[in-house]
Amino acid sequence: MTTKARTKQERRTRVDAAPKIPALEILNLSIKDIHTDPGQPRKTFDDLLLSQLSESIREHGVLQPITVRASDGKYIIVMGERRYRASILAGMKTLPCIVRDYHDGDVLEVQIIENLQRKDVEPTEEAEAIAYLSTRYAPSDIAKRLGRTDNFIRQRLKLAGLIDGFKQFVRSGDMTISLGVAVALFEPEEQQMMLEAMGEAFNAHKIDRMVKDQSYDLNKAPFDISDKVLVAKAGACGDCPFNAANQGDLFGHHKMICTKASCYGMKKEKALVNLIARSKKENILLIPEIRRYWLDGENNQAIISKLEIEGFKIYLLDDVDILSNPIEPTLESIKVEYQYYDYTEDDFKSALEEAMDLYHKKLEAFQSAKEHGYGHGIVFHPETYRQKEVFVKIAEAVANEQPVHAVPLADRKMADCTPEEQIIKMNDRETRKNQIEANKQFEEVVRMVWDTDYILLKKTLSVDEMVAIAIALFENHVDHTARRTYFSDFLGNASQMSQVEMVEAFRKNFKKETFYKLMRYILTKQVHFGECNHVNNLTNIAFYKAIQGYFKSDVEAIEKSYDEQRNKREARLKERIALLEMKIHGSGD
């Protein structure tokens, strides 16, 4: 026998010796003998898609058999209930089936995994199914079985904790999955309170606001989150199950968010108690971060009352001079600050030199604070209790004044006031009269100007006019957050100035760059999103053309990316249309 013949003979022998695997037998069973499984995890079926499938079955038949198991003379569907339902709609008498034996505990798992591999699975059903699998497997194992990421599995596990009242909004599409996950981070009792507070109609904005109001960024906590004894029963925040960082990246990568409002509140209050005790022990002046025109706020009044009960004489931000440890500027920070300016590298370096000069002056003042009568102080926020250590000096004008009272002076009767307070009330009344007269005077001047041709003048704006516009824009169009973020030094150190003095000081130190910065900020805030874009809205068109002068290459890169996507999409569309036209012409032949 030749070598080639021997090789063929050996191959045949090996094949013959291999165990025979029986082919799966497909049986055409009567639909009357087939029954759905009441324990099937899939509960929802799209009526329109079911109708479309029934039309296909009516024309072509069932192309893929369903899987069933025998039970008490009946056949129970394991996989393929949608095809079964569509076949009934199509009027089919029999259905191709594969009959398999399953252990009772395995049927549900097979059904769940089969359902989860569909593309149209409903999110809350998916969450409940994954929650069932989590009783048998670790999240990472479930992720591997389903071909999903670990974080996806953790999010769905959390979504399974959503109460039924919210799940119905996820099913209807009113509530996004991400908002559902955020709500599910809270205990069922807290979710129920959110649901009742929302009212009958779903309101995503209101729910989102509740979530934010009841969740707290632990990186901004006013207490040491690693402290195990601050609230002994709660322990440290790092390992707490209510720390979102321990539940997957549900708020962002490793972002530590507390979702247990009651625990956070206890720790926050304990932190305030400790702060008060420390300030008494070390003789540190405690300054609530409140200005006089915020004094009537409910939270502010509450914290002032608390400090009064503790025996503190209350001084507000307006009553003291504060020196904080300045942050040294860098070229990178300067470039961020002036990123929207058409600055050269030399311009940035020049701006850095100016910033460094100011930094050294502030640093010198901070380091020599004690020599100039400053003492240790702590400024803390009246709501968050976040604190910052500073040097502080009580302004001479208020050093001998009566302490700030928890009940505003304006709300007290004259008979309940001390003589000093009565004088203040009378002066306040006179001030109010003067304000009313000043308002009348101002209105008369404005109306006089309206009657002239001032607004028709073609002259270039004067510096004084730009100063007035800058302050008007700042006062009426810049929100509190932006003032702190972008314009913290807009009016300079104005804590001890009158309003008139502030305007005059701003006028003396006015730079056109300040005006440009403010105008550009206002311009960016006028841009509209949504249905408005850079081709159908006048403001947006103007803004788009303006920024092209500063970011030409970046804008062109973005435009190119969208053009490429658009071209690909249009090309695919043309191909589909061409195929359809071929079918049309073909059927016509």
**Where residue 284 falls among pLDDT bands split at 50, 70, 90?**
very high
**Helix-strand-coil split of the chain, %, nearest 5:** 55, 10, 35
User: What 3-state class would DSSP assign to 321?
Assistant: strand
Over residues 537-584, the pLDDT tens digits come to: 888 888 888 888 888 888 888 888 888 888 887 888 788 788 877 877
Q: Are residues 400 and 449 in the same domain?
A: no
Q: Which residues make Cβ contacts (< 8 Å) with residue 174, sequence separation at least 6?
A: 202, 204
- Whether the predicted pLDDT of 91 surpasses 60: yes
Q: In this predicted structure, which of 3-17, 75-89, 393-407 has the lowest mean pLDDT?
A: 3-17
Q: Are residues 305 and 337 in the same domain?
A: yes
Distance CA 469, CA 133 (A): 64
User: What 3-state class would DSSP assign to 388?
Assistant: strand
Q: Are residues 324 and 427 in the same domain?
A: no
pLDDT at 467: 86
Over residues 175-192, the pLDDT tens digits come to: 888 888 888 888 888 888
> Does a structural domain hold residue 176?
no
Distance CA 204, CA 251 (A): 17
Distance CA 81, CA 95 (A): 11
Over residues 502-549, the pLDDT tens digits come to: 888 888 888 888 888 888 888 888 887 777 778 788 888 888 888 888
Q: Are residues 330 and 349 in the same domain?
A: yes
- Whether the predicted pLDDT of 250 surpasses 50: yes
pLDDT at 407: 63
- Whether the predicted pLDDT of 111 surpasses 70: no
Strand partners, 323: 391
Structurally, the chain folds into a number of domains equal to 4
Select from 121, 142, 173 the last residue of a domain. 121
Between these two residues, 581 and 223, which has the higher pLDDT value? 223
pLDDT at 282: 92
- Whether the predicted pLDDT of 377 surpasses 90: yes
**Where residue 333 falls among pLDDT bands split at 50, 70, 90?**
very high
Between these two residues, 407 and 389, which has the higher pLDDT value? 389
Distance CA 424, CA 212 (A): 41
DSSP letter string, 68-136: EEEETTEEEEEE-HHHHHHHHHTT-SEEEEEE----HHHHHHHHHHHHHTSSS--HHHHHHHHHHHTTT
DSSP state of 370: G
Strand partners, 74: 71
Q: Counting Cβ atoms within 10 Å, is residue 208 exposed (0-12), middle (13-18) or buried (19+)?
A: middle
Q: Which domain holds residue 478?
A: 459-550
Share of the chain above pLDDT 70, in %: 86
Active-site option among 10, 25, 81, 269: 81
C-alpha distances (whole Å) from 77 to each of 40, 115, 437, 462, 519 are: 9, 13, 86, 84, 68
- Whether the predicted pLDDT of 215 surpasses 50: yes
- Whether the predicted pLDDT of 159 surpasses 50: yes
Q: Which residues make Cβ contacts (< 8 Å) with residue 436, sequence separation at least 6?
A: none
Q: Which residues make Cβ contacts (< 8 Å) with residue 228, sequence separation at least 6?
A: 235, 236
Distance CA 578, CA 572 (A): 10
Over residues 93-103, the pLDDT tens digits come to: 899 998 887 76
> Does a structural domain hold residue 252?
no
- Whether the predicted pLDDT of 376 surpasses 80: yes
Between these two residues, 119 and 362, which has the higher pLDDT value? 362
Backbone angles phi, psi at 297, to 5 degrees: -60, 145
Q: Counting Cβ atoms within 10 Å, is residue 6 exposed (0-12), middle (13-18) or buried (19+)?
A: exposed
Q: Which two tokens stand for residue 457?
A: 């003048």
pTM of the model: 0.48
Distance CA 275, CA 269 (A): 10
Q: Are residues 479 and 374 in the same domain?
A: no
Q: How long, in residues, is the chain?
A: 589
Distance CA 166, CA 74 (A): 38
Between these two residues, 433 and 167, which has the higher pLDDT value? 167
Q: Are 377 and 316 in contact (CB under 8 A)?
A: no
> Does a structural domain hold residue 359?
yes
Q: Does 396 participate in catalysis according to the annotation?
A: no
Q: Which two tokens stand for residue 105?
A: 């505990």
Q: Are residues 452 and 481 in the same domain?
A: no
Q: Are residues 464 and 351 in the same domain?
A: no
Between these two residues, 148 and 274, which has the higher pLDDT value? 274
Instruction: Residue 454: count other Cβ atoms within 10 Å of its Cβ.
Output: 9
Q: Are residues 324 and 302 in the same domain?
A: yes
Q: Are residues 371 and 348 in the same domain?
A: yes
Report the amino acid identity of residue 530.
G
- Whether the predicted pLDDT of 420 surpasses 90: no
- Whether the predicted pLDDT of 490 surpasses 50: yes
> Does a structural domain hold residue 544?
yes
**Where residue 16 falls among pLDDT bands split at 50, 70, 90?**
very low
Which CATH number covers residue 117? 3.90.1530.30
Instruction: Residue 21: count other Cβ atoms within 10 Å of its Cβ.
Output: 6
Mean pLDDT value across the chain: 80
pLDDT at 525: 81
pLDDT at 503: 87
pLDDT at 277: 93
Q: Are residues 429 and 507 in the same domain?
A: no
Select from 92, 121, 150 the last residue of a domain. 121
DSSP letter string, 10-47: HHHHHHHHSPP-PPPPEEEEEGGGEE--TT-S-----H
Q: In this predicted structure, which of 232-236, 266-270, 385-389 has the lowest mean pLDDT?
A: 232-236
Distance CA 234, CA 226 (A): 11
User: What 3-state class would DSSP assign to 530?
Assistant: coil
- Whether the predicted pLDDT of 589 surpasses 60: no
Select from 443, 458, 473 the last residue of a domain. 458
- Burial of 52-82, coded b for 16+ CB within 10 Å and e otherwise, reads ebbeebeeeebeebbbbbeeeeebbbbbbbb
Radius of gyration of the chain (CA): 36
Q: Are residues 303 and 402 in the same domain?
A: yes
Q: Are residues 337 and 402 in the same domain?
A: yes
> Does a structural domain hold residue 313?
yes
pLDDT at 24: 62
DSSP letter string, 223-258: S-TT-SSTTTTT--STT-TTBTTBTBSSSSTT--EE
> Does a structural domain hold residue 542?
yes
> Does a structural domain hold residue 241?
no
Element (H, E) at 203: none
> Does a structural domain hold residue 360?
yes
